[in-house]
Amino acid sequence: MVDSQQKSNARTPRHGVRMTHQRQMILEALESCEGFVSAQKLHARLQKDGSTVGLTTVYRALAGLERAGLADLLRDDTGERLYLRRPTDEHRHYLRCRDCGSASPLDADPVEQWAHRIAQTSGYTNLEHTLELTGVCAGCHDHGRSGTNPRQ
C-alpha cells in the first residue's frame, strides 16, 4: 500500500531534475560560492548556515544539477569532483587555480569556432567538447605556496 503511494507521488520529468526544496537550497548555496567547490565544502557551508542536509544528499543533488546543466563539473588532481554554478545556459570554459580552486570563465570563441567547423566538415552531429586550463593564480603565486609546483 505504502509502496504504490510513493510511486505515484514520484513525478519525474523526462529531462532535468525535480527541483526539490533541498536541491533549490543546494543550488543557492552553490551560487554563493566563488569558484569551484567540492561536495564536502558545500556541505560544511550548508551546515554552518544551520542546514541539516546530509553529505550524501549534497553529492546526489550536485550530480543531478550537473546532469541538468545547472552546474559545471571539474575533477581536481586527486580526482575529486568540483562543482560550479553555471552562470547561463551556454557552456563555458574555465581557467582554474590548482592551489585555491578559484576559477574564472574564459573567452573561448576560437575554440567554439573550431569545434563548429569540425562539426560541419566531419558529418558528426551532437558534437561536444570539454576544455579546461589549470595553473597557479596570481594570488597563490605571490604567497609562494604553490606546493604542487614541481619547479625547484
Binding footprint of Zn ion on the chain (CB under 5 A): 97, 99-100, 137, 140
- Whole-number Å distance between alpha carbons of 61 and 81: 13
In the complex, the smallest distance separating the C-beta of residue 112 from Zn ion, rounded to whole angstroms, is 5
Nearer to Zn ion by C-beta: 50 or 110?
110
Query: C-alpha grid cell for residue 7?
Result: 510511486
In the complex, the smallest distance separating the C-beta of residue 91 from Zn ion, rounded to whole angstroms, is 6
Nearer to Zn ion by C-beta: 42 or 140?
140
Nearer to Zn ion by C-beta: 17 or 97?
97
Q: What is the DSSP string of 8-70?
A: HH----SSS----HHHHHHHHHHHTS-S-EEHHHHHHHHHHTT----HHHHHHHHHHHHHTTS
In the complex, the smallest distance separating the C-beta of residue 75 from Zn ion, rounded to whole angstroms, is 17
In the complex, the smallest distance separating the C-beta of residue 9 from Zn ion, rounded to whole angstroms, is 39
Long-range contacts of 78-82 (CB under 8 A, 24+ apart): 80/38, 81/38, 81/39, 82/36, 82/37, 82/38
DSSP 118: H
Nearer to Zn ion by C-beta: 39 or 103?
103
β-bridge partners, 57 = none
In the complex, the smallest distance separating the C-beta of residue 114 from Zn ion, rounded to whole angstroms, is 9
Nearer to Zn ion by C-beta: 49 or 80?
80
